[in-house]
Chains A and B, each alone.
Chain A
């Protein structure tokens, strides 16, 4: 896709937000989510990938009250209102961490590492934080 296309209103690119870090230890997960929400206003083809420690971002039951931070898990539920529904969680990352394939804060698709690789390869813009 050329840059000229990018200047044309109505162009749709495939954006992938790659999340590989656990929430709360750093701000990356929260600020990544803020970009995702903004991207909805641009009518792009947005996907979110959760792999490695990033899978902890979308687990249900996160409670940061004891560390004095705001729980931003509910924000993931707002994604659906913005028509952002392609959330992919990597199966191998869950297995490596002894986590089941359910119990997420929002509906997600659990995909294999090979499927995740294929999803990554199809993107126009990959944003990682």
Chain B
């Protein structure tokens, strides 16, 4: 299952809820406002660092760029993808769950 999150963790507990429901083989993709939570030195960053031990975490690069966040500020291990990569992730997983 590919789980997508689109809310900032500073505004909503959605990322925490999503991470709490991951099963074997699941991956997380942060899009839209959620990308702000993937930066080093934040509570959500720490949550993702822990999550990365068992599940891959991706952020959508165009959303990151739109919000002025350099890739260098990302938590180590978080991978950047563009929309083509988003599509690939969707095809590689059996289903997609959007945490709206």
Contact = CB atoms under 8 A, between A and B. Distances in A.
Interface stretch (B45-53, B65-73, B79-87, B90-98): B90-98
B95 A18 contact: no
Contact of A123 (B20, B22, B95, B99): B95
A52 B20 contact: no
A113 B100 CA distance: 18
Contacts of B97: 18, 120, 123, 126, 128
B23 A121 contact: yes
Contacts of A27: none
Is the contact region of chain A dominated by helix, strand, or loop, or is it mixed? mixed
Contact of A51 (B17, B22, B24, B95): B17
A1 B22 CA distance: 22
Interface residues of B, number: 17
Contacts of B77: none
B41 interface: no
Given A113-B20, A117-B20, A128 B99 contact: yes
Interface in A76-129: 113, 116-118, 120-121, 123-126, 128-129
Interface of B: 1, 13-14, 17, 20-24, 26, 94-100
Closest 5 CB pairs of A and B: A121-B23, A117-B21, A126-B97, A128-B100, A128-B98
